[in-house]
Amino acid sequence: MYRWLVPRVVFPLAERLGGRRMWTETCRLKALQWRPQSELEARALERLRGLLMHAAAHVPHYRDLFRRVGMEPEDIRTLSDLSHLPITTKADLRAGFPARTTAHNLPEHRRQKMLTSGSTGLPFEFYWDRSCAEVLRGTALFFQEWAGAAIWDTRILIASPAYFYTNIAPESRFRPLIRRKVLGERIVNLPANELTTAKFRTLVNQAPGEDATSFEVIPHPSGPWPHSSGKRG
């Protein structure tokens, strides 16, 4: 039921009523992936130039970086030209956060503070633009489909360590319930510090739903966890 209902009714209706363009973005990416490689490379380079020009104009860290090496964003004409720029490390960004690493033209009300779990070191704080939320969600849905898992398939979320959630606001308990009823979404959370092979296998074997053989492992958006999917068997 969900396989037919969600893409044909639920997502389009949600866009019409709420104005959120997640499904439109997913469909755009689906169509774009089949364009010629030369076109995709040209698009990527064009978007990269825009990103570099924005960073040099509005982010102090990157403005100073370009000045230090005597370059302008317009000097980046090919991907290989990026090798002329020094690598920016997390330590560099952490030391300058937020004044030197946040775009000055990004209004306060559009800044959403994010925090990585620190699984490989210290937690890393940054902002993302709230206006990009639907693009990010649409992109995530697109790549989830690439992995062979639909939104109504049971997913095992290898989440950040349990202690991480003391630093962020908990999600409303009603939101997962609504998503389950409307989208058929089922997510099982498994904190990374509690992950064992036996526990993971048990969760996969207990996966409910019409297609109980399908599973996906997805990272928490705040943590650098690996992504995989497959069939149980």
8 inside domain: no
Residue 40: pLDDT over 90 = yes
The alpha carbon of residue 4 and the mean position of all alpha carbons in its chain are separated, in whole angstroms, by: 26
For residue 216, the tally of other CB atoms under 10 A from its CB is 20
Residue 229: pLDDT over 60 = no
170 inside domain: yes
5 inside domain: no
Q: Do 119 and 180 form a contact (C-beta atoms < 8 A)?
A: no
> How far is Cα 226 from Cα 182, in angstroms, rounded to an integer?
28
What is the per-residue pLDDT across 127-172, written as a single tens digit (0 to 9) for each? 989 999 889 989 989 998 888 888 888 887 776 666 666 666 666 6
Please state the domain count of the chain.
Answer: 1
Q: Is 170 left (phi over 0), alpha (psi -120 to 50) or beta?
A: beta
- DSSP annotation of 188 reads E
pTM for this model (two decimals) = 0.72
Residue 227: pLDDT over 50 = no
What is the per-residue pLDDT across 70-84, written as a single tens digit (0 to 9) for each? 999 999 999 899 999
28 inside domain: no
> How far is Cα 178 from Cα 75, in angstroms, rounded to an integer?
49
Domain enclosing residue 173, as ranges = 135-231
Q: Do 3 and 150 form a contact (C-beta atoms < 8 A)?
A: yes
